[in-house]
A and B are shown apart, each in its own frame.
Chain A
Amino acid sequence: MGSKWGYQEQKGGEFVKIDKLTDEQKSQMIEHRDNWIAIGLETKPANRSLAEIAVADMYRLGGLPPPARIVWCGSPLSNVLTWASVWASVRDSVGDSVGASVWASVGASVRDSVGDSVGASVWASVRDSVWASVGASVRDSVGASVWASVGASVRDSVWASVWASVGASVRDSVGASVWASVRASVRASVRDSVGASVYGQHDAGWLSFYAYFHDICGLTKETELLVGLMELAKNAGWCLPYQNICLISERHNILRRNDAGRLHCVDGTAVAYPDGWEIYALNGVLVTKNIVMTPANELDARLVMTEKNAEVRREIVRKIGIEQVLIKLKAKILDKIGDYELLQLPKIEGMTIVPTYLKMRNPSIGVWHVEGVPPTVKTVQQALNARAGKLLSTGDWMPEQLT
């Protein structure tokens, strides 16, 4: 007998794999995908009561009692900093056990271990073609819109902000010589704290995949362990789960993206949270407030020379305009092949050499890059060879595919 879910019920109530989606299930795919994209990009205040129920379910499904205390924070950054502050003040009196992250139970176990086990259960219930179809139409699409475009940037910003503030305070308090020896462990501690987060609404990408099987295909038992995470995603931002205490973040209240879906705002913050934490971004690249808010004609072209990150430098060039950059920096062209130009720029403060740069166009998206090459380089080809580094022991770097 066929079931409404698309799989076949056999004698004894056992089911065989879903070998294809019904027309009704297929017709719900786009709406399901769009619903989960909306969940991931939601900017309304968190639904705190439902989120707290979801957290209790997460703990329960991870085999733990619900946290005795829930602390609401204004942003994922606030989650991490609040925890660092709370933990520092109570650690001596309560001992390590209370402060133990239970991410392994409610985060890792549901996102990775349980995720894999849920994955195995769903995998066992559907044919490859169904798995692939839902993966391509739902998970990949929601993931690209939410995690790749927003979640990863928020994570990187939390990491950078926490590292900047925690790292700086530790550095100031311990002094340069001690800092050199503890830097790695402090960095690891910050990374662990950010990594111990459950990403709430930003987990929409992979959760949407299992939610489809849960909501549309009736695989409720196979996906049961993810219900708490799904509900958290629908109702709040990130959370930091610890034994007896769980910190939950509000959702972002401002989210601005470009036509490609990447974080982008030319005259303000691309992401903001209710506590005032802001993220500035141009075309998906995280940049400083100064780069966004300073008018292009007032932006110092020397930033192209001082900025260490190639993607940030690209956005500075894009904002000012490559021609204006070269004029402002008084660039001298040493050699040219196609879209490549070898440039000599004037020495600026902090340099003891006259710098040489290679101007090039990204062949995939057409934007211009300016990157430093050794001052001994005299031609574009020498510059391309130098950029290949030790990989190139002989001959010239002339790739057959360049994208």
Chain B
Amino acid sequence: MQQLQQGDVLLLAAQLPEGCKKISAGRRGYVLVEGESTGHAHVIEDIEGCEIYEKDGVMYISASREVSLTHEEHNVVKIPAGSWEVGIVQEYDPFDEELRNVRD
């Protein structure tokens, strides 16, 4: 399965799950993840031909054309047309001894 990564955002080619709900775009477009300490965000700004869905807390991208994922510090990732599951990089906390989403 095709894989893409921009910093702590992971994209894996996947089918849209049944029962997923469409999410509306905001002023900036689709914000996949926003950082706590910087205000920086992983964003699809040009949303033409692109829709975002959610199910059980997981986001999915459905793109009928190549779309760009931008971020203030990371280079652009060109997301090919298709459907994608969005993941967040996991890191292990050796104090709590558990995996959790990277916090940034």
Known pairs A365-B73, A403-B7; A310 contacts B103 (CB<8 A): yes
Pair B90/A399 contact, Cβ less than 8 Å: no
Given that A286-B38, A364-B74, A403-B75 are contacting pairs, would A310 and B90 also be in contact in the complex, using a CB cutoff of 8 Å? Answer: no
Q: How far is the CA of A291 from the CA of B87 in the complex (A)?
A: 31
The answer to whether B85 touches A401, judged by C-beta atoms less than 8 angstroms apart, is no
> 1/0 contact trace for A231-242 toward B, CB 8 Å?
000000000000
- Which secondary structure characterizes the binding site on chain B? loop
- Bound: A151/B89 CA distance, A: 27
Query: Are A351's CB and B39's CB within 8 A?
Result: no
Count of chain A to chain B residue pairs whose CB atoms are closer than 8 Å in the complex: 121
Shortest distance from the beta carbon of A282 to any chain B beta carbon, whole Å: 10
Residues of A within 8 A of B5 (CB): 399, 401-403
* Residues 51 to 82 of chain B near chain A (Cβ within 8 Å): 71-78
| A11: chain B residues within 8 A (beta carbon) | none
Q: Are B7 and A391 in contact (CB under 8 A)?
A: no
B101 to chain A, nearest CB (A): 8
Tell me if A397 counts as interface (CB < 8 A to partner B): yes
- Closest beta carbon of chain A to B77's beta carbon, Å: 5
Within 8 A of B (CB), among A133-184: 144, 148, 151-153, 155-156
* Contact status B38-A353, CB under 8 Å: no
Chain B nearest CB, measured from A100 CB (Å): 25
* A397→B3 contact, CB < 8 A: yes
Shortest C-beta distance, B41 to chain A (Å), equals: 9
Q: Is B48's beta carbon under 8 Å from chain A?
A: no
Give the dominant DSSP class at A's interface: mixed
Most buried by A among B5, B39, B87: B39
CA distance A284 to B94 in the complex (A): 27
Query: Knowing A391-B10, A401-B77 touch, does A311 contact B3 (C-beta < 8 A)?
Result: no
Inter-chain contacts of B76 with A (CB < 8 A): 403
Q: Which residues of A contact B4 (CB under 8 A)?
A: 399-402
Q: Does A98 contact B (CB under 8 A)?
A: no
- Contact among A308, A353, A387 with B89 in the assembled complex (CB-CB below 8 Å): A387
Question: Chain A residues with Cβ under 8 A from B104's Cβ?
Answer: 309-311
Chain B, interface size: which category? 35 or more
Give bound CA distance, A389 to B91, whole Å: 9
Hey, which chain B residues are within 8 Å of A12, CB to CB? none
B40 at the binding interface (Cβ < 8 Å)? yes
Is B37 touching A312 in the complex (CB atoms < 8 A)?
Answer: yes
With CB as the reference atom, state the residue of chain B lying closest to A111.
Answer: B27
Please determine whether B40 and A310 come into contact, CB atoms closer than 8 angstroms. no
A101 to B33, CA, bound (A): 29
Given contacts A389-B87, A400-B4, 20 further A-B contacts (CB under 8 A): A148-B39, A152-B38, A152-B39, A156-B36, A284-B72, A308-B103, A309-B104, A350-B95, A353-B94, A364-B74, A373-B91, A375-B94, A386-B92, A386-B99, A387-B90, A388-B90, A399-B5, A401-B6, A403-B7, A403-B74
Closest 10 CB pairs of A and B: A152-B39, A391-B87, A355-B94, A403-B75, A389-B90, A372-B92, A399-B5, A399-B3, A311-B104, A364-B74
Which residues of A does B touch, CB under 8 Å?
A: 144, 148, 151-153, 155-156, 206, 284-287, 305-306, 308-312, 350-353, 355-356, 362-365, 371-375, 386-392, 395, 397-403
> Which residues in B have some Cβ–Cβ distance to A below 8 Å?
1-8, 10, 12, 27, 35-40, 71-78, 85, 87-95, 97, 99, 102-104
A–B pairs, 10, beta carbons within 8 Å:
A148-B72, A156-B39, A284-B38, A306-B95, A351-B94, A388-B90, A389-B90, A399-B3, A399-B5, A401-B78
